[in-house]
Amino acid sequence: MKKGLFITFEGLDKVGKSTQVENLVKHLESKNLKVTLVREPGSTEISEKIRNILLDKENAGKISPLTELLLYNAARAQLVDDIIRPALERGEIVISDRFYDSTTAYQGYGRGLDIKLIHSVNMEATGNLVPDLTILMSVGPLNETINNHERFQSSSSDDRLERESLEFRERVRAGFLEIARQEADRFLVVDAEDTIENVAAKIAERVDQLLQTK
Protein backbone atom coordinates (compact mmCIF):
# COMPACT_ATOMS: atom_id res chain seq x y z
CA MET A 1 0.00 0.00 0.00
CA LYS A 2 1.25 3.49 -0.92
CA LYS A 3 1.38 5.80 2.11
CA GLY A 4 3.73 8.59 1.05
CA LEU A 5 3.35 11.43 -1.41
CA PHE A 6 4.64 11.28 -4.98
CA ILE A 7 5.44 14.56 -6.73
CA THR A 8 6.90 14.86 -10.22
CA PHE A 9 8.34 17.81 -12.18
CA GLU A 10 8.00 18.11 -15.94
CA GLY A 11 8.85 20.56 -18.71
CA LEU A 12 11.23 21.23 -21.57
CA ASP A 13 14.98 21.14 -20.95
CA LYS A 14 16.54 24.27 -19.45
CA VAL A 15 13.37 25.86 -18.09
CA GLY A 16 14.67 26.00 -14.51
CA LYS A 17 13.20 22.67 -13.38
CA SER A 18 16.20 21.58 -11.31
CA THR A 19 16.25 24.87 -9.37
CA GLN A 20 12.60 24.45 -8.45
CA VAL A 21 13.13 20.80 -7.51
CA GLU A 22 15.90 21.91 -5.12
CA ASN A 23 13.69 24.69 -3.70
CA LEU A 24 10.88 22.25 -2.99
CA VAL A 25 13.23 19.76 -1.33
CA LYS A 26 14.55 22.56 0.95
CA HIS A 27 11.00 23.72 1.72
CA LEU A 28 9.93 20.22 2.77
CA GLU A 29 13.10 19.45 4.70
CA SER A 30 12.65 22.70 6.64
CA LYS A 31 9.42 21.11 7.91
CA ASN A 32 11.40 18.04 8.98
CA LEU A 33 9.79 15.89 6.32
CA LYS A 34 11.75 13.00 4.82
CA VAL A 35 12.25 13.51 1.09
CA THR A 36 13.61 11.03 -1.46
CA LEU A 37 14.82 12.78 -4.61
CA VAL A 38 15.28 10.99 -7.92
CA ARG A 39 15.71 11.96 -11.55
CA GLU A 40 14.73 10.30 -14.80
CA PRO A 41 16.23 8.59 -16.60
CA GLY A 42 18.57 7.37 -13.88
CA SER A 43 18.95 7.19 -10.10
CA THR A 44 19.69 3.46 -9.82
CA GLU A 45 22.83 1.70 -11.04
CA ILE A 46 20.98 0.02 -13.91
CA SER A 47 18.91 3.10 -14.77
CA GLU A 48 22.05 5.28 -14.93
CA LYS A 49 23.58 2.80 -17.40
CA ILE A 50 20.45 3.06 -19.53
CA ARG A 51 20.64 6.88 -19.19
CA ASN A 52 24.16 6.77 -20.63
CA ILE A 53 22.90 4.90 -23.70
CA LEU A 54 20.00 7.32 -24.17
CA LEU A 55 21.91 10.58 -23.69
CA ASP A 56 25.29 9.62 -25.21
CA LYS A 57 25.87 12.15 -28.02
CA GLU A 58 27.40 9.34 -30.13
CA ASN A 59 23.97 7.68 -30.20
CA ALA A 60 22.13 10.85 -31.26
CA GLY A 61 19.80 10.12 -34.14
CA LYS A 62 20.56 6.36 -34.06
CA ILE A 63 18.04 5.24 -31.45
CA SER A 64 14.61 4.54 -32.95
CA PRO A 65 11.53 6.11 -31.26
CA LEU A 66 10.27 2.67 -30.16
CA THR A 67 13.68 1.80 -28.67
CA GLU A 68 13.62 5.15 -26.85
CA LEU A 69 10.15 4.39 -25.46
CA LEU A 70 11.30 0.99 -24.18
CA LEU A 71 14.64 2.19 -22.80
CA TYR A 72 13.11 5.13 -20.89
CA ASN A 73 10.57 2.72 -19.46
CA ALA A 74 13.18 0.07 -18.68
CA ALA A 75 15.08 2.67 -16.63
CA ARG A 76 11.77 3.72 -15.03
CA ALA A 77 10.67 0.18 -14.09
CA GLN A 78 13.95 -0.36 -12.22
CA LEU A 79 13.67 3.01 -10.47
CA VAL A 80 10.08 2.41 -9.36
CA ASP A 81 10.95 -1.06 -8.03
CA ASP A 82 14.25 -0.16 -6.34
CA ILE A 83 13.57 3.29 -4.91
CA ILE A 84 10.21 4.99 -5.53
CA ARG A 85 7.74 2.34 -4.36
CA PRO A 86 9.74 1.32 -1.26
CA ALA A 87 10.10 5.00 -0.22
CA LEU A 88 6.36 5.62 -0.69
CA GLU A 89 5.61 2.49 1.32
CA ARG A 90 7.78 3.88 4.13
CA GLY A 91 5.56 6.98 4.04
CA GLU A 92 8.16 9.34 2.55
CA ILE A 93 7.70 12.14 0.04
CA VAL A 94 9.25 11.17 -3.29
CA ILE A 95 10.13 13.90 -5.78
CA SER A 96 11.09 12.88 -9.30
CA ASP A 97 12.72 15.24 -11.79
CA ARG A 98 10.69 13.89 -14.78
CA PHE A 99 8.48 10.78 -14.89
CA TYR A 100 6.24 9.12 -17.47
CA ASP A 101 4.67 12.36 -18.73
CA SER A 102 8.09 13.08 -20.29
CA THR A 103 7.73 9.91 -22.35
CA THR A 104 4.24 10.89 -23.48
CA ALA A 105 5.46 14.39 -24.38
CA TYR A 106 8.84 13.55 -26.00
CA GLN A 107 8.30 10.11 -27.54
CA GLY A 108 4.55 10.60 -28.11
CA TYR A 109 3.85 14.21 -29.07
CA GLY A 110 7.49 14.85 -30.08
CA ARG A 111 8.49 11.70 -31.98
CA GLY A 112 4.97 10.73 -33.03
CA LEU A 113 4.59 7.31 -31.36
CA ASP A 114 1.01 6.24 -30.63
CA ILE A 115 -0.17 7.86 -27.38
CA LYS A 116 -2.24 4.80 -26.37
CA LEU A 117 0.78 2.51 -26.81
CA ILE A 118 2.88 4.90 -24.72
CA HIS A 119 0.23 5.01 -22.00
CA SER A 120 0.10 1.23 -21.74
CA VAL A 121 3.91 0.84 -21.66
CA ASN A 122 4.16 3.65 -19.06
CA MET A 123 1.55 1.96 -16.87
CA GLU A 124 3.16 -1.47 -17.23
CA ALA A 125 6.61 -0.10 -16.29
CA THR A 126 5.34 1.72 -13.22
CA GLY A 127 2.74 -0.81 -12.05
CA ASN A 128 0.11 1.94 -12.51
CA LEU A 129 1.88 4.35 -10.18
CA VAL A 130 0.28 7.76 -10.83
CA PRO A 131 1.88 10.85 -9.22
CA ASP A 132 -0.21 12.68 -6.59
CA LEU A 133 0.93 15.98 -8.09
CA THR A 134 2.79 16.89 -11.27
CA ILE A 135 4.31 20.34 -11.62
CA LEU A 136 4.64 21.44 -15.23
CA MET A 137 7.10 24.27 -15.79
CA SER A 138 5.58 25.79 -18.88
CA VAL A 139 6.87 28.29 -21.43
CA GLY A 140 5.11 30.11 -24.29
CA PRO A 141 5.28 28.96 -27.93
CA LEU A 142 8.82 28.57 -29.32
CA ASN A 143 8.50 30.96 -32.22
CA GLU A 144 10.53 32.11 -35.18
CA THR A 145 12.29 34.72 -33.04
CA ILE A 146 13.95 31.98 -31.03
CA ASN A 147 14.63 30.05 -34.21
CA ASN A 148 16.36 33.05 -35.78
CA HIS A 149 18.30 33.59 -32.60
CA GLU A 150 19.44 29.96 -32.54
CA ARG A 151 20.33 30.00 -36.21
CA PHE A 152 22.31 33.12 -35.63
CA GLN A 153 24.34 31.29 -33.02
CA SER A 154 24.96 28.13 -35.02
CA SER A 155 26.93 27.46 -38.19
CA SER A 156 24.88 27.30 -41.39
CA SER A 157 25.38 23.53 -41.70
CA ASP A 158 23.46 23.16 -38.44
CA ASP A 159 20.40 24.98 -39.82
CA ARG A 160 18.35 21.92 -40.70
CA LEU A 161 19.05 20.23 -37.38
CA GLU A 162 18.33 23.42 -35.47
CA ARG A 163 14.99 23.82 -37.22
CA GLU A 164 14.06 20.17 -36.71
CA SER A 165 15.01 20.49 -33.08
CA LEU A 166 12.91 23.63 -32.68
CA GLU A 167 9.87 22.00 -34.28
CA PHE A 168 10.39 18.91 -32.13
CA ARG A 169 10.61 20.95 -28.94
CA GLU A 170 7.52 22.94 -29.90
CA ARG A 171 5.55 19.68 -30.29
CA VAL A 172 6.86 18.52 -26.90
CA ARG A 173 5.96 21.87 -25.30
CA ALA A 174 2.41 21.77 -26.66
CA GLY A 175 2.19 18.05 -25.77
CA PHE A 176 2.93 18.73 -22.12
CA LEU A 177 0.14 21.32 -22.03
CA GLU A 178 -2.27 18.86 -23.64
CA ILE A 179 -1.42 16.18 -21.04
CA ALA A 180 -1.95 18.75 -18.26
CA ARG A 181 -5.29 19.79 -19.79
CA GLN A 182 -6.47 16.16 -19.88
CA GLU A 183 -5.49 15.49 -16.26
CA ALA A 184 -6.05 18.96 -14.81
CA ASP A 185 -6.56 17.72 -11.22
CA ARG A 186 -3.13 16.08 -11.10
CA PHE A 187 -1.26 19.07 -12.58
CA LEU A 188 -0.03 22.43 -11.37
CA VAL A 189 1.05 24.41 -14.43
CA VAL A 190 3.46 27.20 -13.53
CA ASP A 191 4.88 29.91 -15.78
CA ALA A 192 8.59 29.09 -16.04
CA GLU A 193 9.23 32.67 -17.20
CA ASP A 194 8.00 34.11 -13.88
CA THR A 195 10.63 34.87 -11.19
CA ILE A 196 12.27 31.96 -9.36
CA GLU A 197 10.77 33.19 -6.07
CA ASN A 198 7.21 33.46 -7.43
CA VAL A 199 7.37 30.00 -9.00
CA ALA A 200 8.81 28.48 -5.80
CA ALA A 201 6.04 30.12 -3.72
CA LYS A 202 3.28 28.77 -5.98
CA ILE A 203 4.72 25.26 -5.84
CA ALA A 204 5.18 25.36 -2.05
CA GLU A 205 1.60 26.59 -1.58
CA ARG A 206 0.14 23.75 -3.64
CA VAL A 207 2.31 21.10 -1.96
CA ASP A 208 1.39 22.43 1.51
CA GLN A 209 -2.31 22.15 0.59
CA LEU A 210 -1.74 18.58 -0.54
CA LEU A 211 0.05 17.71 2.72
CA GLN A 212 -2.90 19.02 4.73
CA THR A 213 -5.39 16.86 2.86
CA LYS A 214 -3.20 13.74 3.11
Q: Point out which residues bind ligand TMP (CB under 6 A).
A: 13, 39-41, 72, 98, 102-103, 106-107
Measured from the CB atom, the residue of 67 and 147 that comes closer to ligand TMP is 67
Smallest gap from residue 10 Cβ to ligand TMP (A): 9
- Closest residue to ligand TMP, Cβ-based? 106
Measured from the CB atom, the residue of 36 and 102 that comes closer to ligand TMP is 102
Measured from the CB atom, the residue of 120 and 209 that comes closer to ligand TMP is 120
Measured from the CB atom, the residue of 20 and 103 that comes closer to ligand TMP is 103
Measured from the CB atom, the residue of 41 and 175 that comes closer to ligand TMP is 41
What is d(CA 176, CA 110) in angstroms, rounded to the nearest whole number? 10
Smallest gap from residue 100 Cβ to ligand TMP (A): 7
Smallest gap from residue 112 Cβ to ligand TMP (A): 13
Smallest gap from residue 1 Cβ to ligand TMP (A): 26
Smallest gap from residue 130 Cβ to ligand TMP (A): 16
- Write a three-state SS string for 138-176: ECCCCCHHHHHHHHHHCCHHHHHHHHHHHHHHHHHHHHH
